[in-house]
Structure formats: C-alpha cells, structure tokens
Amino acid sequence: MSSLLVIGHRVPFKGRVSLALVVIVYAASALIFRRKPSSSFPPLVPSALPWVGSALSFLSNPRGFLARCHKRYGPVFKLLLGGREVVVVSSAAAISSIYASEDAAPHAMHDQIFRAFIGRSPKHTEFNVEKEIFPLLDQVFSKRALEVLTQPLARMVFARIKHHTRIQSAQLSLMTFLAEPLYFTVNVMLFGNGYPSDSFDDFRIIDESMPERFLGSPYWFLPSVQARGRLLPRGIDYVKKIHIPENNSALGSDFIQTLQSNGVSPEEAACHLLTFTWGLHANTQGAIFWLFLFLLSDPVALTAVRDEIDRAIEHEFGDLHGFLVDANLKNLDGPYFTLLTSAIMEAMRLTATFMGIRVANSDFELRNSDTIISVRKGEHLLGNVDALHMDESVYPNSRAFVYDRFAYCEGKFRMDGKPWFSFAAGRHLCKGRYLAMYELKISAILSLYLFDITPVGGPPPPWWPPRAQKANLGFPRIENIIVQLHPRDHAEGR
C-alpha cells in the first residue's frame, strides 16, 4: 500500500512527514546519547538505529558486511543486532574456543530453522533436540555405522542417472542433475521406502526461500507455501505409518519414536523431521553445485580431477562395476581421490559460511592470539570463519580456486596446521560431515566419469565471486545453470 498505516488508520500526508521527523530525531538522539560501552575493546561498530543496530546491513549481506567491519575494525569487534550485543572474532584460536567452550551455549538453531521452514514456532514440549536427537545422530553418522550404511549409496545414485548414458545429448539443470539423485538416495537410505523421497522439486522451491524466511527479509513466499502444503501431509502420513515394514530404516524409526516418547504429536513430529531433512540436504546440495561451478570454469582443474577419477576406476577398481561394489568410505578417503578431495575442500573453503552464534552463560575470558577478550554473561559470540578462510597470510591467493591446495603432501593433507572450519568447529561439528563428504565424492566421481558437462547460455565463468549478492544460508546462491550433458565413450552400454 502506498500510504502509511498506524494501528489500522490511514495517516494524512502531513502526519506522515511529522512522524518521519520524529523517527529521524529519535534515531539521531539515540545515536548521540547512547551510553558508551564499558570498554573500548572490542570496538563497537557504530549504527544510527537504536536496538536495531547493524541488523539490516548484516542480514542483507552477512559476508560482505562482516568483511567490511573486519577490514575497518580488525579481527575483534562488537555489533548491535536487534537488541543483542554480538562479539565477532576471526582468529583460529578464538573461533575454536567459542565453539568448544562450556561457557558459550549454542543458540536454538533448530527452532529458528523450524520457524523458517514450517512457518511457526515448535509447539512447547519437553523435547530438546540437542539432548534427544544429537546422540542418535552421533551413532547413525559415525564412520563405523556409515561403513555399512553407505555401501549401496553409489549403486543407488548410479541407478538414478543411468538413463542419461543412453541419450546422445541432453540439456538440464545442473542443480537437479547433481542433487536429485543424492536427495532421493539418502532419503531412502535413512528413512526407508515410505518416505516421500520423490519430493525434490518441492524441497528446492522451499529451499530457495529459506534465507529470506530465516533472516526475516521481505519476500513473496506463495510458491514455497504451496510446496510446503504439498509436502507436510506426506510427512505426516509417513510418521503415522512408521511401523509398517517398508518404513524400516537406519534413522527414521528411531527419530520419530524419540520424538513421540517425549510427547510430540505425529503432526509435530513430521514438522521436526522435515526441518531436519532440510538441514541434511541443503548444504550438501550447495557444496556439490559450487564444486562443479569452479571445475567448469577451470579447464586445468577439471582435466586433472577427471584424469584422477578415470585412472582410479580403471586401474584401482578394474571398471565402473568394481567401483560401485567397493565405493566405501575407506577407499574414497584413500590416496586414489586426492585431487578430488582437495577440490571439494577448496570449494567449501571459498563458499561455505558457518554462522553459528553462541550465548555466554557466564562471564569468562576468551583468548584471541595475543589478546584476552572479556565476555559478559548474555553477550552473543560469532566466529567470523570467512575472514580466516580469506586471510592471505593463511591461504595465499585466497580468493582463487586452487584445486590442489589441500592435496596430499608426504601422506598428509596440506591443511594440517591450517584452519578449515567449513564443517563448523568445536563440540558441534556437523554431525553428518562424513556422510556429506561421501555424497559429494560419489556424485562428482560418477558425473565426471560418465559425462562431459558444459554450460549452456547464462553468465560466462568464472563464477566466483557471485554476481548476484543475495542473502544466503550456508552457501552463496546463484542463478540456476543449464548444462549440456554428453555421455563419454566408456559410458556407452552401461
């Protein structure tokens, strides 16, 4: 609406001018007379708006805003974000300390994602994600459990893309080609055949709106509301039929039974499950998408990684069938795929943004290189991982995609001794990090071994830095890329 509304009444033009002047005067006076911080360290980033502080600048472009603050105020500074004072640090020692400290409790991230995905807050129960679900995830996503659990994953992913090997050429979405087979396969593997694993299109529609939903930015949500309206009933149906034999799974049954034993209704359990599913897939999809964007814009890197994959499949596994049978964690983590592992880590270093906020539950001191940071109870803490990953003294030529940056050197990854926080840090490392790396490697190996992939139309590479600075969660967003798919010679007849 073009006119300003106050408590449901239309305000005349003069009233609007007066009201605007009042707001301006109030903001200016608040800026002038705001009480000075108790200490000049860490420096407080100034802002013109009381309570709101720097929230608007931060939410519109977190990476860019933090980078500007880091350049101006140094490795430690303080922000006012919506009434919360947030201490931001960017040294490896301080980031590790924050996320490992018992004095810094994790923010209720699951509840925030739940509100963004479902459109409301979780209903009040005794259920606590960290206490009830995290131990379950530690078991299911441990390396030992995944050795058995992921054995069929490569074969299932191959089954989803095999039909493309029989087509001379095809144009399709790069994200769909890479992510849909993983989405379907991992859902079946973890939740059983009864889960709505054919819901990839609706999942992507919701995921596209998640940054705006999560950050509270203005956005027209109707397509994602409709997608969620289609997905929720299917999730509820899955929960109600969890005891049917076809729904037996590695995670789904225990997940739902844990919720229900804590008094969570089937409808609410479905909402928690769908929220968890978003966390399970969203960042993995972003990582595989960006890995291919970097490879497609760097012919040297693409050739080197593909040659390594061809050599491993043909000489170490015998052929594609041998690889599909023996594509376990041990083989994929071994020396056969050194360059691929390095390229994945490098793509994540450049793009994965970890924005986990902690809250100080007591006064304590945080060591930051040569300085001590006094943290007050109730203050929020944020590790600025991006500043560290882009530090030229740590990673020379830091803004370039150097595909072999982390390759083996004398039997060890070159990251040894260097900070790499793309799977978070401390006590709350990503629970699914082993599964995620396995997914990324399987998708990349099969796609590069079986197909030649070239972009069609759209903006030309290089893709980094992103041309459209959109709000993002986890990975920068970019317009969808259409690619041309050609089966390679050894894909014929598969």
CATH value at residue 344: 1.10.630.10
What count of residues does the chain have?
Answer: 494
Answer whether residue 321 is part of any domain: yes
Looking at this protein, which amino acid is placed at residue 150? T
Answer whether residue 80 is part of any domain: yes
- Which band of pLDDT confidence, cut at 50, 70 and 90, is reported for residue 450? very high
pLDDT in tens, 353-369: 776 788 888 888 887 77
Q: What is the dihedral of CA 207, 212, 214, 217, to 10 degrees?
A: -170
Which of the two residues, 418 and 173, has the higher pLDDT score? 173
| Residue 56 scores a pLDDT above 80 | yes
Answer whether residue 37 is part of any domain: no
Most confident of 2-6, 61-65, 143-147: 143-147
Between CA 234 and CA 203 the distance in angstroms is 13
Dihedral sign from CA coordinates of 148, 151, 153, 159: negative
What is the DSSP pairing of strand 371-375 with strand 364-368? antiparallel
Per-residue pLDDT, 271: 94
Most confident of 122-131, 215-224, 332-341: 332-341
Question: What are the residues whose beta carbons fall under 8 Å from the beta carbon of 222, sequence distance 6 or more?
Answer: none
What average pLDDT does the chain have? 84
- Do 432 and 137 touch, CB atoms closer than 8 A? yes
| Residue 17 scores a pLDDT above 70 | no
Answer whether residue 94 is part of any domain: yes
Q: Which runs of consecutive H residues, i.e. helices, occur in 129-250?
A: 129-132, 134-140, 143-149, 153-161, 174-191, 200-215, 222-240
| Residue 346 scores a pLDDT above 90 | yes
Q: Which runs of consecutive H residues, i.e. helices, occur in 243-374?
A: 252-261, 266-296, 299-311, 320-326, 329-333, 338-351
| Residue 430 scores a pLDDT above 70 | yes
Question: What are the residues whose beta carbons fall under 8 Å from the beta carbon of 73, sequence distance 6 or more?
Answer: 42, 43, 45
Mean pLDDT, residues 415-431 taken together: 78
- Which band of pLDDT confidence, cut at 50, 70 and 90, is reported for residue 102? confident
pLDDT in tens, 89-101: 988 888 888 877 7
Answer whether residue 30 is part of any domain: no
Answer whether residue 21 is part of any domain: no
Please list, residue by residue across 25-49, b when 16 or more beta carbons sit within 10 angstroms of its beta carbon and e when fewer do. eeeeeeeeeeeeeeeeebebbebee
| Tally of domains within the chain | 1
Please name which of 326, 319, 283 lies closest in space to residue 147, comparing C-alpha atoms: 326
Answer whether residue 36 is part of any domain: no
Between CA 101 and CA 94 the distance in angstroms is 10
- Do 294 and 463 touch, CB atoms closer than 8 A? yes
Between CA 279 and CA 273 the distance in angstroms is 10
Answer whether residue 267 is part of any domain: yes
- Which band of pLDDT confidence, cut at 50, 70 and 90, is reported for residue 277? very high
Q: Give the SS3 label for residue 175.
A: helix
**C-alpha distances in Å from residue 41, one per residue of 215, 366, 371, 428, 444:** 28, 13, 10, 28, 46
Mean pLDDT, residues 373-397 taken together: 90
- Which band of pLDDT confidence, cut at 50, 70 and 90, is reported for residue 6? very low
Please name which of 160, 239, 202, 173 lies closest in space to residue 439, comparing C-alpha atoms: 160
With both helix axes pointing from N to C terminus, report the angle between 266-296 and 433-450 in degrees, rounded to the nearest 10. Answer: 50
Q: Is the backbone peptide bond immediately before 462 cis, with ω within 30 degrees of 0?
A: yes
Question: What are the residues whose beta carbons fall under 8 Å from the beta carbon of 96, sequence distance 6 or more?
Answer: 425, 426
The pTM score is: 0.87
Number of H helices, E strands in the chain: 20, 14
- Domain residue limits at 211: 49-491
Q: Which of 14-18, 151-155, 299-303, 315-319 has the lowest mean pLDDT?
A: 14-18
The answer to whether 409 is a known ligand-binding residue is no
Mean pLDDT, residues 152-176 taken together: 94
pLDDT in tens, 168-197: 889 999 999 999 999 999 999 999 888 999
